[in-house]
Amino acid sequence: MNDSPPVLDIKGLRLQLPDTVRPVLDGVDLTIAAGETVALVGESGSGKSLTSRSVLGLLPPGATTEGTVRVAGDDVLTMTPPRLRELRTGTAAMIFQDPRAAINPLRRIGDFLTESLRLNTGMRAEDAGRRAAEMLAAVGLSPDVLRRYPGQLSGGMLQRVMIAAALMGDPALLLADEATTALDVTTQAEVVALLGDLRERFGTGLLFVTHDLGLAATISDRVYVMYAGRIAETGPADALFDRPRHPYTAALLGATPRLDAPQGRLAAIDGQPPDLRQELTGCPFAPRCAYATDICRDEAPADRPAGDEDGPPRHRVSCHHSERLEGKSGHE
């Protein structure tokens, strides 16, 4: 599966906003193969959502970009508005965090699901209705839902409707931007399991954006850890969670609640992410890092192999002192 051509290939993505001194996204590289699930994790404000939205060309006003964002081989950053509409209704689709904010409460679910296909592809209403019923069945909902209004459905059912809507155009790539954050724990698990099942059935690539490392571990083949608009570490999920090589990844794992951990206060990462209104020298995590030395404050680390003796070469890290984490488990 991972040897397939990428459905998403981001290279050197930089995104600058008018009111920031430094780029919000600073040289992001990320790939997803057909049928692969990749998680993008990090704290709020790290650039995760901007990265996912750039895949659909949903950029903030006044944003300027460098690099390439290729979906199924085509660069999104150079697409015309008509081509972007085709992309958003066919090749790629987004599952947003809050379904109640995305669905008009005054219209039936059937109208919500079929409108885009009817308007953008010219599909007949009856054919679009059949497609909507098929997609509802794929996410475990009855065709009767087509006649209901959003207020008649639970949050979990509405998120399933959002997933069905994303599948309507038979996309090669799904983008799930904090798609389970607003749900209770039980419903979260159901939706994550559903996304994994749909990936297997349809061969769709999935970018799963989350701040929850536990969820990322359950669903992803590979993980990208993002900090201050840069990729700090990337690798196969099991290698990254068992043997993190960036202090930020290790700190995130240390702050994750665990049932088998001693009771007490959760570990926290001291300090705050760097201010976008100030220039940045060296490693962005250096002010919060227990391993930081002068070179960390003066020189940005290069991306390099993580050095796992038995790990695949795709495990990479941007850290001057990653070897100091050698032999340490992500659960310590």
Q: Taking the chain, what is the end-to-end CA distance rounded to the nearest angstrom?
A: 32
Q: Do 45 and 96 fall into the same domain? A: yes
The answer to whether position 331 is within a domain reads no
The answer to whether position 30 is within a domain reads yes
Q: Do 67 and 108 fall into the same domain? A: yes
d(CA 283, CA 202): 40
- Residue pair 139/194 in contact (Cβ under 8 Å)? The answer is yes
- Name the domain boundary from 163, 193, 220: 220
* The pLDDT value given to residue 222: 95
Three-state secondary structure call for residue 91: helix
Q: Do 85 and 198 fall into the same domain? A: yes
- Name the domain boundary from 187, 220, 253: 220
Confidence band of 100 (pLDDT split at 50, 70, 90): confident
Q: Do 75 and 170 fall into the same domain? A: yes
Tracing tokens 């780029």 back to the chain, one arrives at 23
Q: Which of 16-25, 141-150, 253-262, 317-326 has the lowest mean pLDDT?
A: 253-262
Q: Do 106 and 187 fall into the same domain? A: yes
Q: Which of 48-52, 157-161, 253-257 has the lowest mean pLDDT?
A: 253-257
86-100, 168-182, 236-250 — most confident range? 236-250
- Residue pair 146/114 in contact (Cβ under 8 Å)? The answer is no
Better pLDDT: 118 or 42 = 42
d(CA 162, CA 145): 13
**pLDDT more than 70, % of the chain:** 91
- pTM score, two decimals? 0.89
d(CA 72, CA 233): 25
Better pLDDT: 228 or 261 = 228
Better pLDDT: 243 or 260 = 243
- pLDDT tens figures, 126-180: 999 999 999 999 999 999 999 999 999 998 899 899 999 998 888 999 999 888 7
**For residue 263, pLDDT beyond 80:** no
The answer to whether position 330 is within a domain reads no
* The pLDDT value given to residue 311: 47
The answer to whether position 293 is within a domain reads yes
- Name the domain boundary from 198, 220, 242: 220
* The pLDDT value given to residue 184: 76
* The pLDDT value given to residue 308: 54
Q: Do 46 and 30 fall into the same domain? A: yes
The answer to whether position 66 is within a domain reads yes
Q: Do 209 and 289 fall into the same domain? A: no
- Copy the structure tokens of residue 114: 């079929």
Domain count, the chain: 2
- pLDDT tens figures, 178-209: 887 767 777 778 888 888 888 888 889 999 99
- pLDDT tens figures, 271-311: 899 998 888 899 999 999 999 999 999 999 999 988 655 54
Find the domain containing 297 and state its range.
227-325
The answer to whether position 306 is within a domain reads yes
Average per-residue pLDDT for the chain:
88
CA 177 to chain centre: 6
- Copy the structure tokens of residue 149: 């209004």
The answer to whether position 332 is within a domain reads no
d(CA 63, CA 302): 26
Q: Do 265 and 290 fall into the same domain? A: yes
Q: Do 201 and 311 fall into the same domain? A: no
Residue among 34, 18, 38, 16 at smallest CA distance from 231: 38
Q: Is 205 exposed, middle or buried (0-12, 13-18, 19+ CB in 10 A)?
A: buried
